[in-house]
Amino acid sequence: MDAETMVMSLILLMLFFPFCTSVDTLTPDQTIKDGQSLISNKNNFALGFFSPGNSSYRYLGIWFVKVANQTIVWVANRNDPIIDSSGVLSINPYGNLVLYDSSNRLLWSTNVSVQGTTSSVAQLQDSGNLVLVRGNNEKVIWQSFDHPTDTLLPGMRLGLNRITGLDRFLTSWKSQDDPGTGNYFYRMNPIGSPQVGLYKGSTLYWRSSPWPWPTSSSAATSSSSLKHYFVNNEDEVAYTYFFDDAYIISRVVLHNSGLLQLLMWNDGDLQWKESWSAPKYRCDNYRHCGAYGKCGPESASFNSFECTCLPGYVPKSAKNWYHRDGSDGCVRKQLGLSMCGNGEGFVKVELLRGPDSYNAVWMDMSMSSSECEQACLRNCSCTAFVSINIDGKGTRCLAWYGELNDISESSYERWDLNVRVDATELATYTRKSNGFLGHKRQLAITIISLMVTLFLVCLIAYICLLNKRKTSPSKKEEEEENKRTVKRKLHNQSLFFTGTMGYFEGNELEENSRHPDLLIFDLSCIVAATDNFSPINKLGQGGFGSVFKGQLSNGQQVAVKRLSNSSGQGMEEFKNEVMLIAKLQHRNLVKLFGCCIQGEEKMLIYEYMPNKSLDFFIFGLGTMDKR
């Protein structure tokens, strides 16, 4: 190989090498220009220059390598774009990362104080975190995870460092084409019991439940679990999330529309899939039902009003409430009555997302629910409390002082909130609770009574069956009876009689089933006795039909049970019932005078009881059949 060829090969190698390198580290003697990049060790993330959407401006940022569509997770110079491709990233003599353009204008810097003369090194980690470390002891002096833009990655902490004052929060892009700082923020509120919220400017429009949160939840895939890590101590209040499956690619992003989403990458269709988002329902909107109002359920139909007041409270504006606007909230029913030392107590409201906790205070660890209640009662400003177990470490008491805001039903958080009410309201809820228990007790008694009655009926039927078998006819008599039965089925099912009263004819009932004292009434007789079933004579009504008071031509008062066509009882069943009741006549039972069967009409004629039935005096209420 001649000298000219060697020189050309070296020149080509020098030109080609910066574009092909996949190193994850930037040293003081190196630079990254537009078109070059750092690649993390496992090829998870890349650091380089990009243009968002339809913009021609250039930005320094970090994105996923294994995602088909370039997805930016962090931007350095988000508010100072480069107008061309002249950007250069390097480490200056003071050990800071710096970004310049062709005009030698400083667009971005890590801007940390590096003590000593030891040089710094920048490294892009597989978590997506760009770190700046000191050369000898590799102490991290700056990291991109402490300065997020619109994206939260697994392992990235969101919250406040109480010692340094560093506040890590998300801010939306201005638009899809502009990664500049937008109008929406997602940040931790450390006041009271910590909670994170979504803000438009300084206005809160959605918040999470107060700490503690559930430690895990179902993710979009059944093969993994999403977990939260929360720390709240004198040094820091922050949280992060991660998946058990390290191969899951995920991100939490705050869109320029104000929507917060947990997204997971699907390799099958090469798309981001939503696993969770907020706000999603009407009840997610902050103070949707105002102070002391409760919103629910989470998926409430748009045809129903989702707001109700907490126990002891009524709508502040009945007019607005009627027009389905609950933003004014609720006020106490007894405004002039003090709720301090006047026999007040608590009513439990279950399965809620905890109220806004800016005015909440945690009490001592290992405080039981009853101790928590007494502590709240001793303070006149305490309006509610919850007793909750924190990670199996003991039960603690969280108490609210002042207004209760932004309460909604939840199938996920499942907080049980004990709301303070006055003595009158407490007595009302106590009666309701006792009434509910009494109703359950009465229901149990009714079920037992029905079971006993059913048993007795079955026992009587069994005894009758045994008696019938003992007196069964011979085979020849049985054949004759079968012939008579066929004739009876072909005969008109109605019973016809001559005169006002009579006895069953042999061709209508079994010879051995007749009862000598059972009268058969003609329909015209019953019509005349009840004044054509006049509503004035109606005594009651049940599932079988109606009961009418009547007076026969001989002056005898009777009660006529008129079976409705919808009762489900056929002719044969009715005849069997008539004969069974006739055989069970007893001086302590209401007397059955007879029956009437004509056409579709089936009626039982009982003795009339002017002083009502025994159940009226036992249970204190009348029966439907007042015979």
Q: State how far the Cα of 294 lies from the Cα of 354, in Å rounded to an integer.
A: 11
> Which among 540, 386, 558 has a CA at the least distance from the CA of 549?
558
- Residue 597: which of 612, 579, 624 has the closest Cα? 579
Q: Helix (H, G, I), strand (E, B), or coil: what is residue 171? A: strand
Q: Which residues contact 382 (CB under 8 A, 6 or more apart)?
A: 375, 376, 399, 400, 401, 420
Per-residue b or e along 594-611, where b marks 16 or more CB atoms closer than 10 Å to that residue's CB: bbbbbeeebbbbbebbee
DSSP state of 259: -
d(CA 565, CA 241): 67
Question: 85: how many CB neighbours lie within 10 A of its CB?
Answer: 14
CA 264 to CA 177: how far, in whole Å? 22
Structure tokens at 177: 């084409």
Residues written for the chain: 627
Return d(Cα 207, Cα 197) in angstroms, integer: 4
Strand partners, 546: 541, 562
- Take residue 162 and report the two structure tokens written for it: 């109480």
CB within 8 Å of 312: residues ≥ 6 apart: 332, 333, 347, 419, 420, 421, 422, 425
Residue 574, H or E segment: helix 571-583
Query: Strand 415-421 and strand 195-200: pairing?
Result: unpaired
277 strand-pairing partners = 261
Q: Which residue's structure tokens are 């958080």?
A: 413
For 573-578, which contacts have Cβ atoms below 8 Å and span 24 or more sequence positions? 574/602, 575/509, 578/518, 578/604
DSSP 3-state of 591: coil
Per DSSP, the residues of 492-552 read -SS---SSSEE---TTTS-GGG--TT-EEE-HHHHHHHTTTT-GGGEEEE-SSEEEEEEE-
User: Which residue type does 320 have?
Assistant: N
- Cα Rg, the chain, nearest whole Å: 43
Q: Which two tokens stand for residue 469?
A: 């078998």
The three-class DSSP label of residue 443 is helix
Distance CA 296, CA 285 (A): 12
Closest alpha carbon to 144 in 155, 134, 136, 263: 155
User: Do the annotations mark residue 476 as ligand-binding?
Assistant: no
Residues at the annotated binding site? Answer: 561
Residues at the annotated binding site for ATP? Answer: 561
